Amino acid sequence: MASVLKKHHLTRGVSPKKLKNLLEDLGPTYVKLGQIMSMRSDILPESYCQELTKLRTEVKPFSFQTVKEVIEAELGRPVEQIFSEISPVPLGSASIAQVHCALLLDGKRVALKVQRPAIRETMENDITLMKKASGLLKITMGTGDLIDFNTILDELLKTALEEMDFNLEASNLDLFASNQEKISYVTCPRVIRSLTTPRLLVMEYIDGTPIDQTELLTSRGYDMEEIGQKAAENYCKQILEDGFFHADPHPGNLYICEGKIAWLDFGMAGHLSSRYRQLIQHAIQSLLQNDIYELKNVILSIGEARERINHARLYTDLDDLISRYMSMDFGSMDLGELIERLLDMVKQHKIAIPSDITLLGRSMITMEGTLRACSPNVNMIQILTSHMSSIAFTSLDLKTEGRHLARKLYTSGTKSLDIPALLCDLLNITKNGQTRLNIEFSDASVLIRENRRSSGRLCLGIVSGALFIGSAMMCALSSLPTIWGVPWPAFIGFILALLLIFGLLWDIIIKGKK
């Protein structure tokens, strides 16, 4: 580990590209950590997230003998009593597990996801080491308090441990299959529960073609425009209706099999409560209607302010951001870029966004990239808008809406009767000189702090100047003892003046940058 850190000259700083290369050289555990980090733009700068998405997914496979040992240890029986054949060549090898094709004794073809031996212990040890080095990383990257490495590592360990429990992934597959039961063009691998354990996942084998192999799919008679449209439509259903979505929908996890879109690898999946789904719909509507006030309210409802919010500046930043995209043609809007900039802006205002929402943001960016690879003409914003419209139409209940409107009218009418009395009280208070007006100035605390700092600098400058002048005048006194040929009071005055000037320069140059 020390040799790898030395190779990448860690003491010279860590750029996004250097961090990616460093994690690749450190091994499979760190590659997985980097992949998870790339999904957390709420606690890591966007430039780092973008670079970490390029981490390779294929790593060196472990031996076939080890595969058999893991299977036998999990199922408690020799592999010959369960499978008639297991392919020794893995279909894919990742940082946590690798996948092999196999045949059950009844001839059914299945896929085996086998966890790497001791991966849990290895990852826990690696994270412990990284926590010890977090202080060094903060210094070398020059991030100060911008990145809380301990929080990142705790989140990574929690997410990685969840992904290492294949029973959780099996539950995700079952839930997805249940949600998509009525969608004829969507499928996913069916889990064989009797053979699935926390370290072994046995599921139906999907023999298909990756969604981004457009030439091959077109030659087989598929319409790529229709595939992209249906994939986007189903993804919107996962977000807005099901509240359970695939968190890593890259082309390697979407296959076309027998006329259906197969969603694979549910190790990373997200859950959205009904409240979050409603807020997301409000955010999209306010975005399309260019309603900055409503969008600001949604952001503050979703997130948690870590510091006092400057509402005027937040509104201005949102207005600048949204105006830039509203000026574009509707069909050419880049949803991924908009989400990235929005997350960056929210982070600048010290608003903490829940991990489920940031996971959704990264997932939407990945999904748009997948659509761009297979069907560039499909626009995610148009699909989201039409899907929301259909939800609003199907859920519209005129009887309920009428009852709700009548209740609002009654409440408004009752409150309006109190207006004359309240106005009379206000006039009486004003007549007696008891009216008080509370005004809050935007950024007042910042202005006061800056004024105090400027006043302090001015005082330091005046004092140091006075010391210099006074010391120079005292040099003419020859009757006093000297230090290096300078009367001792003048010498001390010069030293104090130099110290004050040094402190003043430090405050202006070093602290001014912060």
Nearest by Cα to 7 from 24, 28, 29: 24
- Assess whether 425 carries a catalytic annotation: no
Cα 220 to Cα 215: distance, rounded to the nearest angstrom? 9
Nearest by Cα to 260 from 173, 187, 183: 187
- Give 314's contacts (C-beta < 8 A, 6+ positions apart): 296, 299, 349
Cα 171 to Cα 43: distance, rounded to the nearest angstrom? 28
Q: Which residue among 126, 248, 265, 317 is the active-site one?
A: 248
Q: What count of residues does the chain have?
A: 514
Tell me the Ramachandran region of residue 203: left when phi exceeds 0, alpha when psi lies from -120 to 50, beta otherwise. beta
- Give 185's contacts (C-beta < 8 A, 6+ positions apart): 230, 234, 259, 260, 261
Strands (E), 212-289: 244-246, 254-257, 260-263, 269-271
Cα 381 to Cα 236: distance, rounded to the nearest angstrom? 10
Are the CB atoms for 45 and 147 separated by under 8 Å? yes
The 3 state secondary structure assigned to 164-228 is HCHHHHHHHHHHHHHHCCCCCCEECCCECHHHCECCEEEEECCCCEECCCHHHHHHCCCCHHHHH
Cα 337 to Cα 364: distance, rounded to the nearest angstrom? 10
Cα 222 to Cα 216: distance, rounded to the nearest angstrom? 9
For the annotated catalytic residues, the residue numbers are 248
